[in-house]
Amino acid sequence: MTEVIKVDPIAPDEAKIDGAARVIKRGGLVAFPTETVYGLGADALNESACRRIFEVKGRPLDNPAITHIADLVQLASIAQEMPESALRVAEKAWPGPLTIVVKKARAFPSTSTGGLDSVAIRMPAHPVALRLIEASRTPIAAPSANLSGKPSPTTARHVADDLSGSIDMILDAGETFFGVESTIIDLTGDEPNLLRPGPFTVKELESILGTKVRVSSAAKGLAEAEAALAPGMKYRHYAPKTKLVLVDIGGDTDTTRHSTMFVADRYKGAGEKVAVLCADESARLYARQGYEVLSMGTRSNPYTVAKNLYSRLRELDSLGVSVAVCESFEEKGIGLAIMNRLRKAASLSVISL
C-alpha cells in the first residue's frame, strides 16, 4: 500500500519529512515534488533500492537517473572531478532546474547511472525536495515518478495513477512549477553539450558557462541518441496512449493553424474521432469546427505551455478519441524543451509539411 502524505510546498512539516526520510534510509521508494516534475526517489548509495526504481517504472537499466543533492559536500562525494564549468553552474544556477553530467567518483554506485562512468547531478529548488534530501542524509536518485514512457507527473494524482501500490510513499505538495524536466548539460567533454532542453534556455546556459553550447539533433528530439547519456535521450518518452500527430512546421503562423486543421480534417474524414492540442490563441478556431480541444497555454508566455503540457497529454487519454493532432511551437527559449517533449511523445507520428 502506498501512503500519501500532504505537505505544505513552502514550509513542509518536519515530522512528515522525517518520516519520508526514514523510508529512504531503509531502502524504500518515495515520490516527491521538485520544481520541475515529481521524482521517484531512493537512496543513491543503496544499489538494491535504486534497482527497484527501474523495476517499478519498467525503465531500461541503461537509462540513467538524476542524482539529487542538497549541498556541495554531497556533490564532491559523487563527482570524480569538478571542472570549472560545473562550479559555475553550482554557483550561479543551483538550487534550480539545471542538471550537469560529470565523471562520477569511482566509489559511487553505477546502478542509477545506467552503468556509465558519468553521473547526472542537480540541486532542486523545491523546499520539500531539499528538506527530504537533507533529512535522508544521502543523495537521492530520482527519475520522474511515472511508468516508463508515459507523460511525466506534475501532480501527486498523476503519480498515484501510475504507481499506487508499487511504491512506499507519495509526498503531495500540489502542482509543480515548471511542468517539464530540468535542462541537462554534459560537461565531460571539451565543449558543453546540451543533452535535454528544459527551463534553463540555451542562451542562459551560454551566459552561465561563458561559452557556446552545442545543441544536437537528439537534444531537439529530431533524432534518437545512440546511447542514453542522460534521462530522456534514447527511448520514447512522455507518450499518451492516444495516437499523437505533431504538425511540425514551426511557430505561431497562419500556416501552423491551417496545416493543423488540414491534418485534423483528414483524420476526421477517414472516420477517426479527433482532438486538437493547441495554444490558447487558436482554441476557438478548432472548437468551431466541432473538435475536442485541449488548450495548453498562451504563445505569449510559453512557460504556461510547458507547465500544462504533461497534464494535457494525460487528459487526452480520458477523451475517448482515436487521434490527437497537435500544433507546433517556436523553438525559442523554453520552446525548445516543449518541442523536444512533443516530438518524443509523438514518436513516428510526426508530420512535416
The domain spanning residue 47 has which CATH number?
3.90.870.10
Residues 254 and 188 reside in one and the same domain = no
Query: What percent of the chain has pLDDT above 90?
Result: 86
Residues 45 and 174 reside in one and the same domain = yes
Residues 160 and 291 reside in one and the same domain = no
**Rounded CA gap, 285 and 326, in Å?**
14
Residues 8 and 124 reside in one and the same domain = yes
pTM: 0.94
Residues 6+ apart with CB under 8 A from 221: 339, 340, 341, 342, 343, 344
Please write the tens of the pLDDT for every residue from 100-151: 999 999 999 999 999 999 999 999 999 999 999 999 999 999 999 999 999 9
Report the length, in residues, of the chain.
Answer: 353
**How confident is the model at residue 350, as a pLDDT?**
72
**Rounded CA gap, 180 and 190, in Å?**
28
Helix, strand or coil, per DSSP, at residue 274: strand
Residues 208 and 271 reside in one and the same domain = no
Q: Are residues 40 and 57 in contact, defined by beta-carbon separation less than 8 angstroms?
A: yes
Please write the tens of the pLDDT for every residue from 320-340: 999 999 999 999 999 999 999
Residues 173 and 259 reside in one and the same domain = no
Residues 168 and 57 reside in one and the same domain = yes
Please report whether residue 229 resides in a domain: no
Please report whether residue 227 resides in a domain: no
Rg (CA), the chain: 20
Residues 78 and 212 reside in one and the same domain = yes
Query: What percent of the chain has pLDDT above 70?
Result: 95
Residue 225 has pLDDT above 60, yes or no: no
Sign of the torsion angle spanned by Cα atoms 307, 310, 316, 322: positive
Please report whether residue 70 resides in a domain: yes
Count of domains forming the chain: 2
Residues 76 and 213 reside in one and the same domain = yes
**Rounded CA gap, 80 and 57, in Å?**
29
**How confident is the model at residue 233, as a pLDDT?**
57
Least confident window among 172-186, 251-265, 282-296, 304-318: 251-265
> What are the two backbone dihedrals, phi and then psi, of residue 38, each rounded to the nearest 5 degrees?
-75, 135
Residue 76 has pLDDT above 90, yes or no: no
Residue 351 has pLDDT above 90, yes or no: no
For residue 67, give the DSSP letter. Answer: E
Please write the tens of the pLDDT for every residue from 284-310: 999 999 999 999 999 999 999 999 999
Q: Are residues 334 and 201 in contact, defined by beta-carbon separation less than 8 angstroms?
A: yes
Q: Which residues are 116's β-sheet partners?
A: none
Residues 210 and 247 reside in one and the same domain = no
Residues 59 and 202 reside in one and the same domain = yes
Arithmetic mean of pLDDT, 6-14: 97
Residue 352 has pLDDT above 70, yes or no: no
Q: Are residues 175 and 34 in contact, defined by beta-carbon separation less than 8 angstroms?
A: no
The residue segments making up the domain with residue 335 are: 243-351
Average pLDDT along the chain: 93
Q: Are residues 331 and 342 in contact, defined by beta-carbon separation less than 8 angstroms?
A: no
